[in-house]
Amino acid sequence: MASFGDSSSSENVKESTLCRYNPEWADVTPIEQNDGSVSVVTIAYSEQFKDVFDYFRAVMKSQEVSERAFKLTSDAIAICPANYTVWQYRRRLLKELKKNLWDELEMIGNFIIEEPKNYQVWYHRRVLVEWLHDATQELSFTTEVLQDDPKNFHAWQHRQWCLNTFNLWNDNGHNELAYTSDRIKEDVRNNSAWNQRYYVINNTIGFNDDVLNNEISFTWHWISKAPNNESSWNYLRGVLNGRMKAYLHPNLKSGCTYLLSQGLESSHLLAFLFDLYEEELDDICDRLADEIDPIRKKYWKYMKRRLINKFDQSDSLN
C-alpha cells in the first residue's frame, strides 16, 4: 500500500496492494461509503480510496488499536491528507501504541514540506510539540517553510503559537523582532512579516513612547523606499492606533507633505494624511473646548459636531 505522504496517483493500483486482498484484513468486514439513496453528483472514488476508507470506517467502528490500524491511517492520509478524522484517530493510536513521537515529528515535518498549506498537518505538528513539551526545532522549521513561501499563514500561525507557548521571543541567540526586520528587508511587501512584527511587540515590550518612535522611524524608512506599498502604511496606522495626530508627530506630517511635494500620487499617502488631519481637528476642538478656550466651549463642541456631520454627509453622498 502507499507509504505515508505518498501522494502519487492511485488510479492503477495492483490488487495485491488492496486491503480486501490482504489476508491480514480477512477478519474485517469493510463498511462502504454511504452517499444516500439519491446523489446529485456521484463521486468517482478511485479503487484505492474506496478500499482504504471502507476498511478505515470498519476500524473506527470497532475502535481497533493495532499496528495494522496505525498503518491504515498512513495509507488514508497519503490518499486524503485533509481528512480530520483520520488524523484524530492516528493521534489516539500514537498514544495507545506508545509510538516514538520524535519519529512522528520528523515524519510530519517531511509531510509539511510537501503539503505546506494543509491545516491538518500543521495542527498535528502542534499537538506533537505539546505532547513532547519541546519546541526547540520549531523556529528553524518554520523559517525553512517560510523561505519557500514567505506568506504561508499556517507557518506564521504555528510560529506565533510556539513563541507564546514556550517564550521563544529571545531564545538561544534568536531575536524574533530582528527576524521580522530581516523578512521585511527581503520583501517590504510581505504583509505577513509586518503583521508578525506588530504581534511580537504587542506581546512583549508593548508600544510605549520610545518603541512607538522607533517603529515610526523604522516604518518610514521603508515607506520612503516603496511609498505605494500598502503593507507599511497599514503597519503605521496600527502602531499609531489612538495616537494618530499630526501635532504629536511633526516629522511624520512633514514627511507626508514632502512626498506630496515630490509629485507622489499615492492613495495610501493621501488617505493617511487625511486621517492624520481629521484626528488632529477632532482633538483640537476638544482641547479648545476643555482647556484653552472653555468660555466658548459650546461653540467648539458645535464645530466638532459640524465636522462630524460634514464627513457623514460626504460619506452618504458617495
The count of domains in the chain is: 1
Q: Is residue 136 part of a domain?
A: no
Long-range contact list for 91-96, CB < 8 A, 24+ apart?
A: 91/124, 91/127, 92/65, 93/65, 93/69, 94/70, 95/131, 96/65
Which residues have a Cβ under 8 Å from the Cβ of 248 and sit 6 or more positions away? none
Domain annotation covers residue 40: yes
**Is residue 33 a part of any domain in this protein?**
yes
d(CA 218, CA 181): 9
Max alpha carbon distance in the chain (Å)? 96
Residue 23 lies in domain:
1-99
Average pLDDT (239-266) is: 80
| pLDDT (0 to 100) of residue 13 | 46
| Per-chain mean pLDDT for the chain | 88
Sign of the Cα pseudo-torsion (178, 184, 190, 195, in order):
positive
Spatial neighbors of 144 by CB under 8 A, at least 6 apart, are 113
- Above 60 in pLDDT, residue 317? no
Distance CA 38, CA 221 (A): 62
In this prediction, what percent of the chain has a pLDDT beyond 70? 89
In angstroms, rounded to a whole number, what is the distance separating the alpha carbons of residues 210 and 87?
Answer: 47
Query: What's the distance, Cα to Cα, between the start and end of the chain in Å?
Result: 62
Which three three-digit cell numbers place residue 263?
A: 509629485
Task: State mean pLDDT over 299-308.
Answer: 86
Residue 245 among the catalytic residues: no
Does the pLDDT value for residue 1 go beyond 60?
no
What is the distance between the alpha carbons of residues 25 and 123, in angstroms, rounded to a whole number? Answer: 30
pLDDT tens digits for range 9-62: 444 445 557 888 888 999 999 898 877 666 677 777 889 999 999 999 999 999
User: What sign does the CA torsion over 42, 47, 49, 51 have?
Assistant: positive
Cα 314 from Cα 249, distance rounded (Å): 27
Higher pLDDT, 126 or 283: 126
Q: Rounded to whole angstroms, what are the CA distances from 117 to 132, 139, 157, 203, 248? A: 23, 17, 12, 26, 43
Q: What is the mean pLDDT of residues 72-80?
A: 95
> Is residue 49, in this structure, part of any structural domain at all?
yes
Report the C-alpha gap between 214 and 211 in whole angstroms: 5
Determine the Cα–Cα distance for residues 162 and 129; give it in Å rounded to an integer.
Answer: 9
In a domain, residue 56? The reply is yes
Per-residue pLDDT, 15? 52
Please check whether residue 197 is in contact with residue 177, taking contact to mean a CB–CB distance below 8 angstroms: yes
Question: How many CB atoms sit inside 10 A of residue 130's CB?
Answer: 12
CA distance 101 to 124: 11
Considering the domain boundaries, does residue 13 fall inside one?
Answer: yes
Helix (H, G, I), strand (E, B) or coil at 231: helix
When pLDDT is cut at 50, 70 and 90, the band that residue 312 belongs to is: low
Amino acid making up residue 281:
L
pLDDT at position 200:
98
Instruction: Give the Cα separation of 139 and 272 in Å (integer).
Output: 35
Residue 14 lies in a domain: yes
pLDDT interval class at 210 (50, 70, 90): very high
Between residues 126 and 172, which one has the greater pLDDT? 126
> Is 284 a residue whose pLDDT tops 90?
no
Does residue 58 contact residue 30 with C-beta atoms inside 8 Å? yes
Q: In this predicted structure, what is the pLDDT of residue 2?
A: 37
Tell me, yes or no, whether 187 lies in a domain: no
Q: What are phi and psi of 155, to 5 degrees?
A: -65, -45
* pLDDT, position 17: 78
265 vs 90, more confident: 90
Q: Check 14, 61, 98, 117 and give the catalytic one.
A: 117
Higher pLDDT among residues 213 and 283, named by residue: 213
Q: Is the pLDDT of residue 304 over 90?
A: no
